[in-house]
Amino acid sequence: MAKMNPNGLSHMVCFSCGNIFPNEQKNPIACLSCGYEIKAEMYRKIMKHAMCAVYYGYDYRKVYEKQIANNSLITERYALVDPSTLLCFCAAAALSGIIGGIAYDCVKKAIKAIISNGNAIKQDIGQSRIYLFESHELNTFIRYIRQYSIDRDEIDSGVLKEIEDEEIGWAASSITTELIFRGVTLTEEEIREAIHDAIHDAKNPDRPIKDNFVRFWESLPATEEESNNA
């Protein structure tokens, strides 16, 4: 399952021009369109947070908020499909504004460039249940990514609890699967410790910091408006 693993995605996005290209597992990752390079570890760190932000901070939040709106409490749990790759790329752009301090006009321009390059992963687009072309939904998307990343207090406490339980549950089940897959023989104590560590990591992820977003979106193509003015 590709869930929460940027290495498992078929495509990558260029953080300078918004180009989308096949994931060839290279290091450093270089964009053939503009030449921008990024170390694989840094790309992975940013994309991992972007994927979690879409999956937990946007997709899960939406379904739980809907339940609260309809029934005023959460009675049903879900197992949502993997987040849309295109939305994860857009979330990385949103994070460059939220954490990296890049101006929102530039972030929105980057998101538009990513969406217009989305044909490269057309099979994935059907998964997106939102249309970021609609500026209202784009604003909600950016707000949800921000609140998941830095302002969790602004999320309804009942919804936040569900989201965090999902994250912890996923961490515990994926480490269990991994241990079985590796076929290692561990004592009960070692298994408990591995699960404990995975949950700790899920609660304290290695988040990207401001400096990680320096020089993002420097090679964005000119918009139609800009070309007309040139």
Binding-site ranges for Zn ion (CB under 5 A): 14, 16-17, 19, 31, 33-34, 36
Residue 87 · residue 114 · CB < 8 Å: no
Q: CA angle, 104 as apex, 80 and 145 as ends, to 5°?
A: 20
- Nearest approach, Cβ of residue 222 and Zn ion (Å): 14
| Angle separating helix axes 135-149 and 104-116, nearest 10 degrees | 110
Residue 111 · residue 132 · CB < 8 Å: yes
- Nearest approach, Cβ of residue 31 and Zn ion (Å): 3
- Nearest approach, Cβ of residue 17 and Zn ion (Å): 3
> Quick one: 63 or 120, whose CB is closer to Zn ion?
120
> Quick one: 61 or 109, whose CB is closer to Zn ion?
109
Tell me the C-alpha distance between 102 and 75, whole Å: 39
- Nearest approach, Cβ of residue 32 and Zn ion (Å): 8
> Quick one: 34 or 194, whose CB is closer to Zn ion?
34
> Quick one: 149 or 212, whose CB is closer to Zn ion?
212
- Nearest approach, Cβ of residue 125 and Zn ion (Å): 21
How many residues are there in the chain? Answer: 230
Query: Which helix (H) or strand (E) is 111 found in, with range?
Result: helix 104-116
Which one-letter amino acid corresponds to residue 167?
Answer: E
Question: Shortest CA distance to 162 belongs to which of 59, 31, 21, 8?
Answer: 59
> Quick one: 23 or 140, whose CB is closer to Zn ion?
23
Tell me the C-alpha distance between 70 and 68, whole Å: 5
